[in-house]
Amino acid sequence: MLNKERLLHLAEILESDASNPTGIKFDLAIWGVGAGEMDCGTKGCAVGLACLHPDFKAQGLRMGRSEPMFDGYQGWEAVDEFFGTDHLQSTLLFSDDSYADAGLPTEGAEGERAVARRIREMCAENPS
């Protein structure tokens, strides 16, 4: 079942970061690299941003050596477990291909806003 609280919080974080000129350099093609903090030295995607955010770190989501980790899971399985998504939902929300195929941006502030919109739409379409 979708964890709407976590997903909607991520949408807020993405929208806030999109308005922050010193936020991460958003790129859906990259889990997350760089300084390891949410500043202009870090390049990452929506999941990478979630892994760096203190609220989600406190709940156990973190960036491993090269992929997200949560509760013994790693990669896409960690994303599914943390956000309560199935693999199809996770890739629809967080895979660069699902945005590029739809002609939507995958980088920068517009990419962040596109992911936030898709998160909000999925939450609205899945009552619980």
One-character DSSP codes across 36-73: SSSSTTEEE-HHHHHHHSHHHHHTT-EE-SSSEEETTE
Cβ contacts of residue 3 below 8 Å, gap of 6+?
A: 82, 83, 84
pLDDT at site 79: 96
What confidence tier does 29 reach under pLDDT thresholds 50, 70, 90? confident
Tell me the pLDDT tens digit for each residue of 55-83.
999 999 998 888 899 999 999 999 999 99
What confidence tier does 15 reach under pLDDT thresholds 50, 70, 90? very high
- For the chain, what is the mean pLDDT? 89
What are the residue ranges spanned by the domains of the chain? 4-125
